[in-house]
Amino acid sequence: MDCGWLEVLQSSLAEFAARLRSENHTLKRALTDPHMFSGIGNAYSDEILHAARLSPLGLTGRMDDAAVARLYEATRDQLRSWTERLRRQAAGGFPEDVTAFRAGMAVHGRFRLPCPVCATPVQRIRYAQNETNYCARCQTAGRLLADRALSRLLKQDWPKTIDAFDREA
């Protein structure tokens, strides 16, 4: 049965690139869309994008080949790494304390905590019942991504960069 998704760990870079570019979405949406890729949820997409140093709001249609290759490698590395960690933790048994928030994650669930790479506080965008966690310095060249509710409330007072945010804090 073909469910439509691509198994990244069993795909080539060319297959990954074709699937990624098949629709123009944000990277976060593309990675978490079960019709596009298998096994990548909200938490792992945050970790993948951080490892690839890409903005969650970057558009798939605007990615150059180098960025696609970086995303492909980061996706494979993160999926392998977390699969191995979770298997070790379960030690052959049934996994306990199943949660998306795990110790050792770089950005997911770490709002306001320091990025393990640059020590900048991790930022968060809330939408519906989900959230996106990212490092503004590592992933968006210091630019803060607008949280729809908060940025609409603050309007022109919304800080545009992490440096402006730090000055106001």
Burial 118-134 (b: 16+ CB within 10 A, else e): eebbbbbbeeeeebbbb
pLDDT at 38: 92
Distance CA 105, CA 44 (A): 9
Reading the chain (169 residues) residue by residue, the pLDDT tens digits are 456 789 999 999 999 999 999 999 999 999 999 999 998 989 999 999 999 999 999 999 999 999 999 999 999 999 999 888 877 776 766 656 655 556 789 999 999 999 999 999 999 998 777 889 999 999 999 998 876 555 454 455 555 566 655 555 4
Q: Which two tokens stand for residue 137?
A: 């310095």
Distance CA 71, CA 73 (A): 6
Note whether 136 and 163 are within 8 A (CB).
no
pLDDT at 83: 84
Q: Tell me where in the chain the CATH 1.10.8.50 domain(s) lie.
A: 1-96
CB-count exposure of residue 49 (10 Å: 0-12, 13-18, 19+): buried
Please provide the CATH number assigned to the domain covering 1-96: 1.10.8.50
pLDDT at 126: 86
pLDDT at 166: 53
pLDDT at 153: 47
pLDDT at 165: 54
pLDDT at 23: 93
